[in-house]
Amino acid sequence: MKRKFFVLSMICALTLTANAQIQTNAGVQYLMNAQKDMSTDFYDLSNTYFLADSLSSFDVSKGIGTVNWKRYRLSPRQAFNTNGYWPVRMQMLDFPDAAYENDPDLKMQVRLVSPRTLRITMLTTPIEPTDEDKDDVMFSPAFISKLVNGGVASAQQDWKVSETPEAVVYKSAYGSLEIRKHPWRLVVKDAKGKILTQTRHIIDNDSSQVKLLPFSFVKRGSDNSRSINPVFTLAPSERIYGCGESFTKLNKVGQKVHLFVTDPQGPETDGQYKPVPFFFSNRGYGIFMHTSAPVTCDFGASYIGADRLFMGDETMDYFIFFGEPKDILNEYTEVTGKSPMLPLWTFGTWMSRITYFSQEEGMEIANQLRKNNIPSDVIHFDTGWFDVDWQCDYEFSKNRFKNPVKMLKQMDEMGFHTCLWQLPYFTPKNRYFKELVDGGMHVKNSTGGMPYEDAVLDLSNPKTVKWYQDKIAGLIRQGVDVIKCDFGEAAPLNGFYYSGKGGMYEHNLYPLRYNKALWEVIEREKPREGVIWARSAWAGSQRYPLHWGGDAATTNTGLLGDLRGGLSFGLSGFSFWSHDMGGFVTASPEDIYRRWLPFGFLSSHTRAHGAPPTEPWLISESFTKAFRESAELKYRLMPYVYAQAKDCTEKGLPMVRALFVEFPNDPGAWLVEDEYMFGEQILVAPLMESGTSRTCYLPKGKWIDYQNGKVYEGGYQDIEAGKIPAIILVRDGSLIPHVPLAQRTDKIEWDKIEWKAYSADKKKCKGWLYRPGDEKIQEIER
């Protein structure tokens, strides 16, 4: 085991070093499945550039028109021994010249989705793409149904459309979109007429020595393929959030964010397992970039006054949302889907390590959890339940699992659900390798052969999906409850897929197809019990929960990265999320593991996992007590957890949420990224370093310490942690439901709920109740 972890650590170190080189050393060739920087195509002097210039036509009754695009090239320029480039008008030399347009008029379309949402599509070619909305895996089934059945047409009555010689204007009660005719601009305004953002035009360069490329698209000299680059203004003091499970600072202004699924080897770099092409601004708007192609979002990194959205896609298909964070998250998840409610047992403790190797070892863990009175509901077998470690063949090792069905039944009788690890890659030594290749169920290269040495399941192929789901169904029928959906970040970028698309468009979609295939077979085999444990994701994956934060370092940096990642993920439409308490890579130092526990148990889902030992009784008696106390905290709070989870699924909100989601009018709340709201009423501030206290920012109002009852005013406060090593505060006026302690969620006594009022100034307290089997959430006031 020690040798395996040394090897894994070395691989991680080498990969991280290589990825770091890509970011800093232009001389290093691109490494497979490292992040793609799409901005480089827009600095290439061999490419042809087309700049959005004017609205050449528009039919207000249909919402369809054309934009005139002026042809440019980038011209090198020397100024006092400094070389740069300027965009310069260009006359084409294409032959035959009568067959092509120097400055083409290309289609744009505006579609109204809801009072807070509209959709803008712009083409860079006269060839219109086929309508794929009805088959789009990013869209929720409910949204597709609206599109197909004309339900979106009802939004027409919520918008007023007018035209003047200067502009076409779409206006609702929540904001407006102006399409300026010349110079062409998209101008987004709030309900009071304040400009929130607008696109840039070439004339905006007149007042600056920096000749920034405005809203444009590029035709590459290498192959004539096209990519579009929408460019919007970035206001002073503007802040941008979202973009998936990003581990860098929550506010993306000043950053260059690559929306490209990769394996960053942990939450300490700028790579992402779960990028999402969606973001929103503190100014009251959000944008969903409806694409699966890579996107590089330059949020004021190269020019402080512009959001430059370098897309791999040749089409811009944007949904623009108006409102505060809660409004925008609700609107975005109306399009891409909301997380379904998960079974109660999933909110309990998941115990794991890398890895349990045998039936006896698994049963020993189950017995020790009960012996040590640690409330728990799930035991996970990681990579070692096959005959050969890491070689996925969907069968328990016959040598080490003498009777897996009996084991699963025994665990079920003890109140444990069982989770198994697997992955979608098959090495040449895997027993299924030949079957997959001979059956054409793998992703192919340009010759029809293998892009990699491994066979990668082509999950755009219905035949592959059926083969895969049949294998999973066999495990579920034996008594397995949940499957770990590991990896999924390495779909071949140069691959050819059954869908007819290349890797440029399928690479980022792969996690979504993977999540979907796995979640749906579990839900089919166990109705209303659908759940997975996934590492990778894309827009729409929130419909197939749940996801965890990847392979964190067992350091304070790993803790910070996971917290930032979870908050950012929640700001991208995902209600449920987890992380490996204590970190993953090596045995966790006891101090870090101890401080990580409250964050783990006060997350929607809770798992101990990583290099052994993760089991508290193998660490120390005092640590076992600390682990037990944090677990008991969550199990007593389970009525609160369950009701808040249900509310999140109805509104597209995260359980682990940034403070400003609850307090959007508190400027200080937008600055905090090392605290969070656990649901609507409980604030959690983990101890990010060794010690027993920390400085916290508290939004305006009174806050009551959950552990000792002390009352704090809003603002910055130095607060001492309680017996559980974290700052846990309750919002003034909260009514929090508790239940007697149970060792497993199916033994919770829902008829013995105790309501605890947390009141400083508030005369009345409010809470919510939602129990298994309830149809809707009840509001309780006392």
β partners of residue 167: 180
Residue 231's H or E segment, with its range, is strand 231-233
Residues 93-130 as b/e (b if ≥16 CB within 10 A, e otherwise) read eeeeeeeeeebbbbbbbbbbbbbbbbbbbbbbeeeeee
Q: How far apart are CA 484 and CA 580, in angstroms?
A: 13
In order of 126, 626, 632, 683, the CA distances from 745 in angstroms are 58, 20, 11, 24
Distance of CA 729 to the CA centre of its chain: 27
CA nearest neighbour of 286 among 652, 678, 603: 652
Contacts of 625 by beta carbon, 8 Å cutoff, 6+ apart:
none
Instruction: Map tokens 């604030």 to a residue.
Output: 683
Name the packing angle between helices 638-651 and 621-636 (round to 10°): 60
In order of 29, 46, 76, 165, 265, the CA distances from 26 in angstroms are 8, 18, 20, 48, 22
Q: How far apart are CA 717 and CA 438, in angstroms?
A: 65
CA 717, 718, 720 angle in degrees (round to 5)? 130
As given in the structure block, the two tokens for residue 409 are 């039944």
Burial of 369 (0-12, 13-18, 19+ CB in 10 A): buried
Is the peptide bond preceding residue 546 cis, with omega within 30 degrees of 0? yes
Residues serving a catalytic function are 486, 489, 551
Instruction: Map tokens 């802040």 to a residue.
Output: 239
Does residue 56 contact residue 67 with C-beta atoms inside 8 Å? yes
Helix (H, G, I), strand (E, B) or coil at 324: coil
Q: Where are the beta strands (DSSP E) in 388-485?
A: 417-422, 425-426, 455-456, 482-485
In order of 101, 102, 124, 299, 600, the CA distances from 87 in angstroms are 19, 16, 19, 21, 52
- DSSP for 372-414 reads TT----EEEE-TTSSSSTT---SS--TTT-S-HHHHHHHHHHT
Q: How far apart are CA 34 and CA 49, in angstroms?
A: 27
As given in the structure block, the two tokens for residue 322 are 């108006």
HSE, CB side, 13 Å, CA atoms: give it for residue 284: 16
Q: Where are the beta strands (DSSP E) in 550-672?
A: 577-578, 606-608, 656-657
Q: How far apart are CA 671 and CA 472, in angstroms?
A: 44
Amino acid found at 90 = M
